[in-house]
Amino acid sequence: MEDDSNHLVKPETPTTAMEAEVVVHEEEREPESNSLNQPLLKRNRTLSTSPLALVGATVSHIESLDYEINENDLFKHDWRSRSRVEVLQYIFLKWLLAFLVGLLTGLIATVINLAIENIAGYKLLAIVGFIQEERYLSGLAFFTGVNFLLTLSAAVLCVFFAPTAAGPGIPEIKAYLNGVNTPNMFGATTLLVKIVGSIGAVSAGLDLGKEGPLVHIASCIASLLAQGGPDNYRLKWRWLRYFNNDRDRRDIITCGSSSGVCAAFRAPVGGVLFALEEVATWWRSALLWRTFCSTAVVVVVLRAFIEICNSGKCGLFGTGGLIIFDVSDVKVSYHAMDLIPVIIIGIIGGLLGSLYNHVLHKVLRLYNLINQKGKLHKLLLALGVSLFTSVCQYCLPFLAQCRPCDPSFPETCPTNDRAGNFKQFNCPAGHYNDLATLLLTTNDDAVRNIFSSNTSSEFHHTSILIFFVLYCILGLITFGIAVPSGLFLPIILMGSGYGRLLGMLMGSHTNLDQGLYAVLGAASLMSGSMRMTVSLCVIFLELTNNLLLLPITMIVLLIAKTVGDSFNPSIYEIILELKGLPFLDANPEPWMQNLTVGELVMPSHQ
Amino acid sequence: MEDDSNHLVKPETPTTAMEAEVVVHEEEREPESNSLNQPLLKRNRTLSTSPLALVGATVSHIESLDYEINENDLFKHDWRSRSRVEVLQYIFLKWLLAFLVGLLTGLIATVINLAIENIAGYKLLAIVGFIQEERYLSGLAFFTGVNFLLTLSAAVLCVFFAPTAAGPGIPEIKAYLNGVNTPNMFGATTLLVKIVGSIGAVSAGLDLGKEGPLVHIASCIASLLAQGGPDNYRLKWRWLRYFNNDRDRRDIITCGSSSGVCAAFRAPVGGVLFALEEVATWWRSALLWRTFCSTAVVVVVLRAFIEICNSGKCGLFGTGGLIIFDVSDVKVSYHAMDLIPVIIIGIIGGLLGSLYNHVLHKVLRLYNLINQKGKLHKLLLALGVSLFTSVCQYCLPFLAQCRPCDPSFPETCPTNDRAGNFKQFNCPAGHYNDLATLLLTTNDDAVRNIFSSNTSSEFHHTSILIFFVLYCILGLITFGIAVPSGLFLPIILMGSGYGRLLGMLMGSHTNLDQGLYAVLGAASLMSGSMRMTVSLCVIFLELTNNLLLLPITMIVLLIAKTVGDSFNPSIYEIILELKGLPFLDANPEPWMQNLTVGELVMPSHQ
């Protein structure tokens, strides 16, 4: 009976964490709350300190939000007394906010991209210089040192100024849209730390992405715009009083989260669907249109800046187009027999995804224990991970054998540029180091290289295996450290490694390109870990621009989700539970169906 | 306050048609209704014959459906008494049904496509024969005669066997998913008549598409599967008793409607979004996954048949791929200045779309008067429209001047095939007739030709103007006749004509290709008339396979919807109102906010 109840029946049965300490400090958040606009009855003001709340949950300070506008007499009086002009003001302002959220998200995403590409780019160019002069140890010292400093700056910001900026932020947004607010989650400090910290952490070459943080950044922008500025310096614009209620703010934050996904993957439709499928609990049809408007603005802004950067005014920012991992040039031709490897990819992806969720859960519990010991421990953990990552990324390529260039790629092989598919690294002329191609580059370029098609003999299988194992370890140990980190890219990196490996094992038994195996592997692991289907499908479509891949992507996603669901919940639900954020599921647990109120209030039953 | 209420508050305020005669014949529909599974309290069993129901509304026989499973003791007892095996049976069966809906929809869509392409193809080849022998009048007689017979067969079936099969069926599905069932809408007779009638009507060259009917066909399949077969010959499978409730059946019909859109446009994600945005009123997150599964099956089936047909085993069925109107070869490059024509397209599209809705409303009211006079009148109306269409399509190309072939298309110009972009028709060798290219072909090929890119000098502007005006007239007079007819293709035809015309007027002031103008024109008119955004955007993306077009498509759709919404409701809402189907909007009208029960029951207030 997996879906016998629905959003309309939202049982208020207490979950473990629901009984956690609920601190209501509404007044701090909305100092000028207008009594006419705030006839809001908070749902849970009761405090209880049941010991249950401590089992497996780090209790956070949370506050609950209203879902419905409470249609009492006070509200109705205010509503009816609004003139036609005021109603138009409200509608206009709501659209203006959706527009501004898109505009600012697009601008900030561009700034972040520019900063990362330039910092990481100059770092990698310097490394190329050291390698060419065969000063390998100096190169290692420089690489590790720069990454150490970048990680340090990101971690210091997160640890001392805005602890809520660490991690992806998506689980907290999911909780907010489900009705639970974490204080300081959407403040101006968090926004600034998240932007700068994300630039530092991603440029440091850590195994994390800017995608999750971008979603959080966009949500912060949305929240700040809706309340008229940061807590201490708010705009006193009278119009903004209309947004002094939970529902309108929730709508705008939903716009923000979809704008963030759109800016991260340049996927406007995927962004809307992500908000619909994964983030927002209560979805209203009016939101579809509004989020769509925000993401349209984001993509137009991104597009404009890409146009400007193509003329070379953005330093090392690439000359790529709107599509991040373009595989549209692959001729997809497959037959009924190719469904078998596709099904295998899906099944293994589901298994690996749920295994990843399981192990990450254990690692995060361990990290929680370390992080609780104090700020210094948090810093040391982050720096340790950074050192390990840098040393592995720099030293492992020396294990790989140099491979001769294929004469069919005369211009791109070998390259000494910061990006490129055939990096020379320590090899003689006419040869390239396939592991350096994958490791000594930005994460985005690594994905691009491993997705590259019509290059079936580019990588040796041991190189791909080393890459896969390394990113499995990094994907597990990096996520919990105190820097802004997204989960999308680590999972894509792991998944693409596993997919390409599988493609190599299939050898001549398949018509599909190895690059497509990498794409499908990434999709299957994402679905196996995050359990999204439609939004992921559209995001992958918009990432890779290959419509003919759609039917097989759909099959892979469905199978991986089904397999994963039979083992454990999605990674976001695991993180929510770890953070002690109460999340009301759409469907009550089966055992709740037969509960009576009497049984609930009797503590002996717990 | 356009969205101050939401799906959770569904006010039971009576609308005009809600007070219409509500005939409850639940027992006819579910003869073996199991009392344990049917503890369903029908919402509206009250009959009232308020004269209001007759104002502007053709009162249908309708019955209301349950939304929630009524959790009374009887239901709970049944639910709790189900063993684990029975629960697994239920889940398995629900997925099996989603799979079967997709499979059968894919198969039937393939059959329909094959039949239409072959019938229309041989007809057009015969015409080419007549033209080459310069037997123009015989050609006219043959063309008109064949179209007449095809229309006659479709109309006779619809008029005498299944009147509910006429029209697109989408409004009725929308009403069903909103809680109102029209009897005989999802029966076996309707299904058969719809399939055969749709083949006849589309092959007859009428200005209608198979898209709407396919949605209805898929919903019929879903409904029949869920109830175990047609009314008189049902499967007695015990498992099917689980689906003897309105909610499960509604879920399966939602799967059906998205499978239908998927089969029509080969757009799996677009299909899911269409059901989400346009059709289903109450959307549950579990549905997203299930509809996605159905559309994945549809697209795999379609893909398999296209693979088979590519080897030439399907008669005249083309050798095209999965993408219907592929414009992926167009290099989209645009600058800030190109936003101006894009905005203009959106505005004009919105204006034209709402104008089309307005005039179509008037025409449909007139047609209702004619159709009410009897079956013969219905037949004559359909046949009259068929004659007019055939004569225009055959005779108008003689008005166009022959144009010399561009030497850059040596192989495709001129052609005497049934399809092709440069039809020779009555022209001497080395020349082509541009109007014949657009008119004397199937609707699908006409769209393909007008979308064709890098052919800026192919069409003379008077030809496009004639095409546009003709399809405006046909689009208005064809829709209401008694054959299965879809609205998508007529609007795409009109819109592409207007878009291409606008592109020609812009001349050298724009960087965009004329084919892209046609695509954007079609999108804007669709949005201006049907008022969908996200689903339409994805459908256009999947139809045209050009991701770089996405940002401008989004802008066009948003502007056209905004402009259209300020004039009148969407075309589906207009048809719903005309059919007298009560539709509960998500948001109550502003005047309803202040109503009291007392005011409602007093007839003097009406």
Please tell me the distance from the alpha carbon of residue B586 to that of residue A283, in angstroms, as a whole number: 12
* Contacting residues for B310 by C-beta, under 8 A, at least 6 apart: B319
- pLDDT, one tens digit per residue, over A53-109 is 333 344 456 777 776 667 777 777 777 777 788 888 888 888 899 999 999 999 999
Please tell me the distance from the alpha carbon of residue B132 to that of residue B599, in angstroms, as a whole number: 73
| CB distance A108 to A216 below 8 Å | no
| CB distance A603 to A22 below 8 Å | no
* Contacting residues for B332 by C-beta, under 8 A, at least 6 apart: B512, B516, B546, B548, B549
Please tell me the distance from the alpha carbon of residue B9 to that of residue B82, in angstroms, as a whole number: 32
Q: Is the peptide bond before B414 cis (omega within 30 degrees of 0)?
A: yes
Question: DSSP secondary structure string, B503-516?
Answer: HHHHGGG--S-HHH
Spell out the alpha helix ranges (H) of B161-205: 170-178, 188-203
pLDDT higher than threshold 60 for residue B11: no
Helix B211-227 / helix B488-506 crossing angle, nearest 10 deg: 150
pLDDT higher than threshold 80 for residue A507: no
What is Dmax (Cα atoms) for chain B? 81
With bands split at pLDDT 50, 70 and 90, how would you rate the model's confidence at A49? Answer: very low
- pLDDT, one tens digit per residue, over A346-401 is 999 999 999 999 999 999 999 999 988 989 999 999 999 999 999 999 999 998 88
Query: How remote is the C-alpha of B330 from its chain's centroid?
Result: 27
Share of chain A above pLDDT 90, in %: 35
For residue B90, the chain A residue with the least C-alpha distance is: A1
Question: DSSP secondary structure string, A400-413?
Answer: SPEEEPPTT-TTTS
Q: Locate tokens 């008494």: which residue?
A: B81
Domains defined for chain B, CATH in brackets:
84-311 (1.10.3080.10), 336-580 (1.10.3080.10)
**Interface check A533 vs B, CB under 8 A:** yes
φ, ψ at A300 (rounded to 5°)? -70, -40
**This prediction's pTM:** 0.81
- At B471, which amino acid appears? Y
Please tell me the distance from the alpha carbon of residue A281 to that of residue A279, in angstroms, as a whole number: 6
Angle formed at CA A587 by CA A585 and CA A591, multiple of 5 degrees: 105
pLDDT higher than threshold 70 for residue B140: yes
With bands split at pLDDT 50, 70 and 90, how would you rate the model's confidence at A37? Answer: very low
DSSP state of A418: S
How big, in percent rounded to 5, are the helix, strand and coil portions of chain B? 65, 5, 35
Which helix (H) or strand (E) element contains residue B433?
strand B431-433
- pLDDT, one tens digit per residue, over B382-397 is 999 999 999 999 999 9
Q: Is the peptide bond before A414 cis (omega within 30 degrees of 0)?
A: yes
Please tell me the distance from the alpha carbon of residue B23 to that of residue A205, in angstroms, as a whole number: 69
Contact B534 A300 (CB under 8 A): no
φ, ψ at B209 (rounded to 5°)? -115, 170
3-state secondary structure (DSSP) of residue B155: helix
CB contacts < 8 A (A, B): 154
| CB distance A499 to A520 below 8 Å | yes
- pLDDT, one tens digit per residue, over A402-453 is 888 887 777 777 877 777 778 888 888 888 888 998 998 888 889 988 988 8
φ, ψ at B138 (rounded to 5°)? -60, -40
φ, ψ at B200 (rounded to 5°)? -60, -50
Q: Are strands A63-64 and B402-404 parallel, antiparallel or unpaired?
A: unpaired
Closest CA to B432 of B416, B411, B408, B447: B416
The mean per-residue pLDDT over the stretch A251-275 comes to 91
Please tell me the distance from the alpha carbon of residue B378 to that of residue B365, in angstroms, as a whole number: 14
Q: Smallest CA–CA separation between A71 and chain B, in Å?
A: 10
State the pLDDT at residue B378: 92
Closest CA to A558 of B292, B259, B101: B292
Please tell me the distance from the alpha carbon of residue B47 to that of residue B18, in angstroms, as a whole number: 10
Contact B558 A292 (CB under 8 A): yes
For residue A542, the chain B residue with the least C-alpha distance is: B547
In chain A, which residues have their Cβ closer than 8 Å to the Cβ of B561? Answer: 289
State the pLDDT at residue A19: 34
In chain B, which residues have their Cβ closer than 8 Å to the Cβ of A542? Answer: 547, 550
pLDDT higher than threshold 70 for residue A112: yes
State the pLDDT at residue A323: 61
Mutate to test the interface with B, among A285, A299, A327, A570 (most CBs of B within 10 A): A285
Please tell me the distance from the alpha carbon of residue A410 to that of residue A432, in angstroms, as a whole number: 12
pLDDT higher than threshold 50 for residue B18: no
Contact A538 B8 (CB under 8 A): no
Please tell me the distance from the alpha carbon of residue B448 to that of residue B436, in angstroms, as a whole number: 14
Please tell me the distance from the alpha carbon of residue A385 to that of residue A389, in angstroms, as a whole number: 6
The mean per-residue pLDDT over the stretch A542-548 comes to 79
3-state secondary structure (DSSP) of residue A133: coil
Please tell me the distance from the alpha carbon of residue B461 to that of residue B453, in angstroms, as a whole number: 16
- The beta-carbon neighbor of A551 closest among B6, B285, B300 is B300
In chain B, which residues have their Cβ closer than 8 Å to the Cβ of A283? Answer: 283
Contact B533 A288 (CB under 8 A): yes
Question: DSSP secondary structure string, A92-131?
Answer: HHHHHHHHHHHHHHHHHHHHHHHHHHHHHHHHHHHHHHHH
Residues 253-312 of B with CB under 8 A from A: 268-269, 272-273, 276-277, 282-286, 288-289, 292-293, 295-296, 299-300, 303-304, 307
Tokens of A5: 């109840």
Q: Are strands A180-181 and A63-64 parallel, antiparallel or unpaired?
A: antiparallel
Contact A1 B286 (CB under 8 A): no
Cβ–Cβ contacts within 10 Å for residue A208, how many?
A: 30
- At B442, which amino acid appears? T
Q: Smallest CA–CA separation between A174 and chain B, in Å?
A: 15
Count of residues in chain B: 606
Q: Locate tokens 């006219």: which residue?
A: B140
pLDDT higher than threshold 90 for residue A596: no
